[in-house]
Amino acid sequence: MQPEISVLRSGILRRKLSAGLAATVLAALSPQIARADESGVSFWLPGLYGSLAATPATPGWSVAAIYYHTSVGASGAAAASREFQVGRFSPTVNIDLNVALRGQADLVLIAPTYTFATPVLGGQLSATLAGVYGRNSASLDGTLTVGAGPIVTTRNGFLEDALVSYGDLYPTLKLKWNNGVHNYMVYGAGDIPVGDYNPNRLANIGIGHGAIDFGGGYTYLNPATGTEFSGVGGFTYNFKNPDTQYQSGIDFHFDWGVSQFLSKQVFVGFVGYAYQQITDDFGQPAILGGFRSRVLGAGPQIGYIFPIGSNQAFLGLKGYGEFDAANRPSGWNTWLTFSISEAAPASTMTPTRHIVRK
């Protein structure tokens, strides 16, 4: 439901192959562990983008492998929405908000990217198609409202579910421009809903509906000092879920990162994100209101750039603690990213090689 992609271009620091995953890596990602919108689950995975997001890449093929772990919890409306979504409960009665939700996911994303050598509109075009596979688990505990025909009963109970399977596909197109220390990017991403999804399950990997996401980003990178900061913002439009007739509202998201290179190969810094739903959902029970979701996150990061044969590789670790959440489970998540790309030709090396060298 990410997701970002590349490491260094001709000796210039490039963006981490951290996922541009079609937005789940490419927003890409978005396993259904409960993240706002329908059942608290969003297409966009906050944290997909980070440092070096808008820097150009070396033309040719690159690939990123991302291990993503998250552990979240919620109560009140964010948990009750999952009770509503699961078909075993009646949507025609007032759902009790005395419910606790817990979710955990361990996912692996693979995001191959091709970067074109021929300029497009004066910039560098790249295309990514990302996929995800892994385990997702969820549980509900509390007052459950159960409907069987005209009979509705309320009881205290516990439900849990787990799934190991594949998720949706996440295509992304990006166009980047460089002007000295300034780097700019626009992107378009989407969700192709082919992943394992069942509206009657607590845990899913696919999200059950299509989505499109558009946005832009900026990276400041000073090779002389090794200082960098990046920001990427965008909007997600969600299509109606054909299984539930539920349509999530429009989401706004902003990911950021700041870093400092300590040597030619190592950088450290901080990352963060802000996620806010800006229009109401359609199809939710009245007790949930507009069910607009929000969450903020921040944490540390470290990255290491190194050669593998004639190629360039990147290994990075970042983590987020979430806070100020509304209508969405929150907790913490970590990203371990390994990416490999073609090395820049020696003839194009610049003075920035004193920071990162091929």
Using an 8 Å Cβ cutoff, are 160 and 55 in contact?
A: no
The answer to whether residue 175 scores a pLDDT higher than 70 is yes
pLDDT of 82 reads 57
Does 1 map to a domain? no
End-to-end Cα distance, the chain: 33
Does 89 map to a domain? yes
Rounded-to-integer distance, Cα 213 and Cα 218, Å: 17
Does 87 map to a domain? yes
CATH number of the CATH domain containing 186 = 2.40.160.40
HEC-encoded secondary structure of 141-187: EEEEEEEECCEEEEEEEEEEEEEEEEEEEEEEEEEEEEECCEEEEEE
Token representation of residue 4: 């970002």
CA of 316: how far to CAs of 5, 18, 31, 231, 266, in Å? Answer: 12, 8, 22, 18, 10
Q: How confident is the model over 138-174, as pLDDT tens digits?
A: 887 776 655 545 555 565 667 788 999 999 999 999 9
Q: How confident is the model over 93-133, as pLDDT tens digits?
A: 445 556 777 889 999 999 999 999 999 999 999 999 999 99
pLDDT of 5 reads 34
The answer to whether residue 250 scores a pLDDT higher than 80 is yes
Does 215 map to a domain? yes
* DSSP summary character for residue 96: P
Q: Which residue has the tokens 């069987």?
A: 148
Q: How confident is the model over 299-323, as pLDDT tens digits?
A: 999 999 999 988 999 999 999 999 9
pLDDT interval class at 249 (50, 70, 90): very high
CA of 335: how far to CAs of 19, 92, 230, 238, in Å? Answer: 10, 40, 18, 25
pLDDT over 70 percentage in the chain: 72
Name the helix (H) or strand (E) containing 126: strand 124-148
Rounded-to-integer distance, Cα 112 and Cα 93, Å: 46
Does 3 map to a domain? no
Phi, psi of 303 (to 5 degrees): -140, 150
The answer to whether residue 181 scores a pLDDT higher than 50 is yes
Does 209 map to a domain? yes
Query: How many structural domains compose the chain?
Result: 1
Single-letter code of the amino acid located at 256: W
Cα Dmax for the chain: 76
Single-letter code of the amino acid located at 145: T
Whether the model pTM is above 0.85: no
Using an 8 Å Cβ cutoff, are 48 and 256 in contact?
A: no
Name the helix (H) or strand (E) containing 260: strand 251-261
Q: What is the residue range of 99's domain?
A: 8-354
Does 164 map to a domain? yes
Does 24 map to a domain? yes
Q: How confident is the model over 40-82, as pLDDT tens digits?
A: 567 889 999 999 999 999 999 999 999 999 998 876 666 666 5
Rounded-to-integer distance, Cα 232 and Cα 75, Å: 30
Rounded-to-integer distance, Cα 250 and Cα 258, Å: 27
